[in-house]
Amino acid sequence: MRVLGIDFTSAPSSQKPITAAHCQFHDGVLVCDHVERITDFQRFEHLLGESGPWIAGLDFPFSFAKVFLTKMNWPLDVAELAKLLRRTSKLEYLSEMKAFRDANPAGQKHVARQIDRLTGGAAPNNVVNPPVGRMIFEGLPRLVQSGANLPGLVIGDPNRSAVEAYPAVAAKRLIGTTAYKDGPAADAENRRNLRIQLLRTLAKEDRFGFRVSASQDVVNDAAGDDLDAVICASQAAWAFVHGHTTPQGPNLDFDCVEGWISDPDAFA
């Protein structure tokens, strides 16, 4: 099975590309063939449209909290939500997000999904630090328009499945921290050592139930995007191995409005 791990950004460029780990899963081993840096949405859309079979793990939310959608009077159905976002300008979208924050008191401005509270993820309507609200605005409409299957959320091509990934939840379990990237220069060597430790831990079978093999070069990316893409691929492969990619979604408890994250800890 071909497996893609995609560390997403809402504004791809040569300085901050979308990072895609191209992998193959065979005989209980996930092998990363190479890492691609995508600098524009045209190539991203082309990648999503490539013939299957493949499964991809993408690091951005596939929906918002149900209570947030209800307050915004936005569709609860993910496919309809994607259509709404596609016909909304970015300026209008960001203005509506700001209006929501301004109308709510401190502590209620960012509304997390149940899965975010479980995994420690940011609320999808947060548009800065981290800008996941911008990521869903750019990512979800393109993903749905590609015709891929979003298990449990949108019925699409059964040979092309996409699941929501979240590298941080895996990193916390594997090495106890997410401080392996984007740090001060004085801490660069320590963070590189953490990336090495994380890659070595992925090579064992006890986390996902299979071994992950990737070039040592992925630890040289101080931003951590290369390694995050490999983790996204690992989470996608976990979904594939456990049969969570049927149109009905995982045979586990999840909210079909808010979505699910493909990681063992998301269903702990």
pLDDT in tens, 156-169: 999 999 999 999 99
Tell me the torsion sign for CA atoms 250, 255, 257, 261: negative
Tell me the mean pLDDT in the region 39-61.
Answer: 98
Could you give the count of Cα atoms lying within 13 Å of 217 in the half-sphere of its Cβ?
7
Task: Write down the H helix ranges in 26-155.
Answer: 41-49, 66-72, 78-86, 90-103, 114-119, 132-145
SS3 percent helix, strand, coil of the chain, rounded to 5, is: 40, 20, 40
Global pTM reads 0.96
Per-residue tokens: 132: 């996941």
Query: How far apart are the C-alpha atoms of 136 and 181, rounded to whole Å?
Result: 23
Tell me the mean pLDDT in the region 220-228.
Answer: 96
Query: How far apart are the C-alpha atoms of 164 and 14, rounded to whole Å?
Result: 24
pLDDT(252) > 90: no
| Three-state DSSP class for residue 266 | helix
**Residue listed under structure tokens 């979240």:** 166
Question: Strand locations in the chain, DSSP E?
Answer: 2-7, 18-26, 29-38, 54-58, 148-149, 157-164, 211-213
pLDDT(144) > 90: yes
